[in-house]
Structure 1
Amino acid sequence: MLSEFITVMDNAPGFNDKEILKKIFVEDNLLKKESISGRKISFYYLKHLYGLDSENKNFQGLLKYWKEKSPDNKIMALLCALSRDEALRLSSGYILSVKAGDSADKSGLKEIVDNYYQNIYSEKVRESMVRNLMSSWTQAGYLEGRSNKIRIIPEISVYSFAYACYLAYLSGFRGKRIFHSPWVLVLCLSNLEIKEFIKESNRKGLMSVKKAGSVVEITFPEDLIGGTQ
């Protein structure tokens, strides 16, 4: 689904009109699906996972920071999905706990899924969830390998950093707490890298970070929900 989402982001003319967007999927067949049903399913799942709506605040930020063909667009897609998908959020703790170079055992993730969803979904559905979650983290650049998944460090840019900070703001974090929020922690950055990204974000106007003693004020561009403070 990640590669399909990137195709949509790089080629869709806009996300203001649901019917026009649906037409791009179903009639224009942007994703090159053979059947009408396959096109409709792709539209439903991508809209469910990512929003695909310029009125949605999370998606507004994604549109603001998305750069066509950027290698870390997959990170921003993951961040957007994390803001909407409960199972993906639940899986993040386990994935991030695995050290770089170590094996990410599927059983560790299955234990989390079973504990949380045992009384909701069947064993078959839960196994499918685990496979899909492992695939999502692999496509996003946190795991590599086929049967034996190895934890790797993802490639991060200032744009995914700014988007993570924006999502943290929308979730209620303020000031320097934003840089220690779950959204930024997902990026696996060192304190030095965070400081450098803060400087770069300021230079590029992606967000404004002002310090006065121990107080940190973070604001975002005016075209994001009328500006945020």
Structure 2
Amino acid sequence: MLAELSAVLASASASATRADYASAVIDGNCLDKPTASTRRLSNQRLGELYSLDAAIPLFRLLRRLWFANEKARPLLALLVAIARDPLLAASAPAVMHLRPGEEYRKDPVKESIRQAVQGRLSEATLEKVVRNVSSSWAQSGHLEGRTFKRRARVTPTPGAIAFALYLGWISGFRGEELLDSPWTRVLDSSVTQTTELALAAKRIGLLDIRIADRVVEISFRRLDPSGNVE
């Protein structure tokens, strides 16, 4: 979905509404789909994963950071997808548990998802879900290889860390916890690296952070000036 998200975001202005994005996909066929039904399906799936609605803070921030830091795009897309797709989120522990270079196996991922859905999906549907989430982790850079995939270490950017810190904040993490939440760990970022990148994000105007005597204070007003965040 990363290539499709890129195409959709490039097809509309920053002021675009959800209807504008739908029109770009369905009427303008910005994704070059062969039929009307596949265009509608793509619009639905992209809306489910990323919202494509500037009224929703996650998408508003995704779009801002997307055009500010091209290298961060795969990780930004992954963070939003994890926040909005419970099946992808359920697969995260099995992927993040792997050490760099360790072979990726689908069975542990399938079992994690199976436990999350508690029998609500058939075996065939589970197989399809595992293929989809495996593709998402490969597109984000966490998996590499063709026939046999192995865990790879990703490289976060200040923009990706700023987004991860924001996701941690809306998830209820505060203070030092923000520097070592599941959101920053998904970026393979240690507390030290997260701190350094958060300070870099401050320098480029994405957030405000103050660290003193183990007290961590972060404000996201600069990240989302039109939102209602501290």
Q: Tell whether the structures are fold-level matches, with TM greater than 0.5.
A: yes
TM-score when normalising by structure 1: 0.93
In the alignment, residue 151 of structure 1 is paired with which amino acid?
A: R
Offset of residue 107 of structure 1 = 1.3
Find the counterpart in structure 2 of residue 65 from structure 1.
65
Q: Residue in 2 aligned with 1:112?
A: 112
Deviation at 1:31, TM superposition (A): 0.5
Residues 69, 175 of structure 1: alpha-carbon distance in 2 compared, 3 angstrom cutoff: closer
Match of 1:132? Answer: 132
Q: What are the equivalent positions in structure 2 for 1:41-60 lying under 5 Å apart?
A: 41-60=41-60
Q: Is the 8 A contact 2:179 2:195 kept in 1?
A: no
Larger displacement relative to structure 2 (13-22 or 1-10): 13-22
Contact 1:61 1:166 in 2 (8 A): no
Distance 2:18 2:9 in 1: 15
Cα deviation digits, residues 129-180 of structure 1 (max 9, x gap): 1111111101110001123111001132111111111111111222221111
Does the CA contact (< 8 Å) of 2:25 and 2:43 recur in 1? yes
1:30 aligns with 2:27: no
Structure 2 matches for 1:185-196, cutoff 5 A? 185-196=185-196
**How much has 1:192 moved relative to structure 2?**
3.0
Q: What amino acid does structure 2 have at the position aligned with 1:191?
A: V
Q: Distance in 1 between matches of 2:131 and 2:109?
A: 9
The 1:111/1:37 distance shift into structure 2, 3 A limit, reads: same
Equivalent positions of 1:152-191 (< 5 A) are: 152-191=152-191
Query: How many residues matched?
Result: 229
Indicate the residue corresponding to 1:211 in structure 2: 211
- Stretch moving more, 176-185 or 218-227: 218-227
Q: TM-score, normalised by structure 2?
A: 0.93
Deviations 1:173-221 (A, max 9, x none): 2222111111111011133322320221111111111134332210013
* Bigger relative contact order, structure 1 or 2 (CA pairs below 8 A, ≥6 apart): 1
Work out whether residues 65 and 162 of structure 1, in 8 Å CA contact, stay in contact via their aligned partners in 2: no
Structure 1 stretch 199-208 or stretch 9-18: which is displaced more?
9-18
Q: List gaps (5 residues or longer) in structure 1.
A: none
Q: Give the deviation of 1:118 after TM superposition.
A: 4.9
**Mapping of residues 73-152 of structure 1, within 5 Å:** 73-152=73-152
Give the secondary-structure state (helix, strand or coil) at the position aligned to 1:80: helix
Query: Which deviations, in whole Å up to 9, do the C-alpha atoms of 1:80-133 show, x marking residues without a partner?
Result: 001101011111101000000010111111222223335201110011111111
Residue 10 in 1 paired to residue 7 in 2? no
Residue segments in structure 2 that go unaligned for 5+ positions in a row: none
| SS class of match (1:66) | helix
Same amino acid, percent of matched pairs: 33
Structure 1 stretches of 4+ with a deviation exceeding 3 A read: 222-227
Output the amino acid matched with 2:181. Answer: S
